[in-house]
């Protein structure tokens, strides 16, 4: 390989890396009340693209279904603070959802194909927390009916 080919190869690799990083940053969204989030994880490329951003968010949610943990998509999420106020809502979340919540106590209500899961957690702003919600054990009868 000559020097010119090597320089072109390096430039192309740098451009591809920049485009990948730029694509990830463009997916970060902010709600009306200032909460940043990123959702994705459909396909191997999106999973690889999202992983480096996990530690930038205080909450990392992973959605799966069944005994074998297949990725669950189109999840509706409501997150309530300790005063039962809705602080975050997203319809149609992909299998990975990263949310930047301030420190506090929260309740997550997630719906997958009409089946609901509830999870309570405490967010510490000094590190991120990973929660896997799997619909293999959901029991809709003991979760109050709420519209997502």
Question: Which CATH topology does 30-136 take?
Answer: Immunoglobulin-like (2.60.40)
Task: Tell me the C-alpha distance between 142 and 85, whole Å.
Answer: 21
pLDDT digits (tens, 9 = 90+) for 77-112: 999 999 999 999 999 999 999 999 999 999 999 999
Q: What is the pLDDT of residue 140?
A: 46
Task: Tell me the C-alpha distance between 102 and 108, whole Å.
Answer: 14
Residue with tokens 């003991």: 142
Residue 6 has pLDDT above 90, yes or no: no
* pTM passes above 0.95: no
Q: Long-range pairs for 26-34 at CB < 8 Å and ≥24 separation?
A: 28/53, 31/88, 31/89, 33/87
Number of H helices, E strands in the chain: 2, 10
Task: Tell me the C-alpha distance between 41 and 36, whole Å.
Answer: 17
pLDDT digits (tens, 9 = 90+) for 20-78: 444 444 489 999 999 999 999 998 999 999 999 999 999 999 999 999 899 999 999 99
Q: Long-range pairs for 138-142 at CB < 8 Å and ≥24 separation?
A: 138/112, 140/114, 140/115, 140/116
Q: Where are the beta strands (DSSP E) in 57-113?
A: 59-65, 70-71, 75-81, 86-93, 96-99, 104-112
Q: What is the pLDDT of residue 15?
A: 42
Cα–Cα–Cα angle for 41, 95, 34, rounded to 5 degrees:
90
């Amino acid at each position: 390989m000559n020097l010119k080919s090597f320089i072109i190869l390096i430039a192309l690799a740098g451009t591809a890396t920049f485009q990948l990083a730029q694509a990830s940053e463009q997916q970060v969204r902010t709600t009306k009340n200032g909460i940043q989030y990123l959702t994705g994880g459909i396909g191997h490329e999106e999973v690889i693209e999202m992983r480096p951003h996990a530690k930038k968010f205080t909450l990392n949610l992973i959605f799966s279904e069944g005994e074998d943990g297949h990725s669950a998509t189109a999840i509706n999420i409501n997150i309530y603070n300790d005063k039962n106020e809705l602080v975050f809502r997203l319809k149609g979340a992909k299998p990975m959802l990263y949310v930047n919540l301030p420190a506090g106590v929260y309740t997550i209500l997630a719906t997958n194909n009409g089946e609901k899961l509830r999870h309570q957690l405490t967010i510490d702003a000094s590190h991120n927390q990973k929660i896997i919600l799997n619909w293999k054990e959901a029991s809709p009868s003991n979760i109050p009916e709420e519209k997502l």
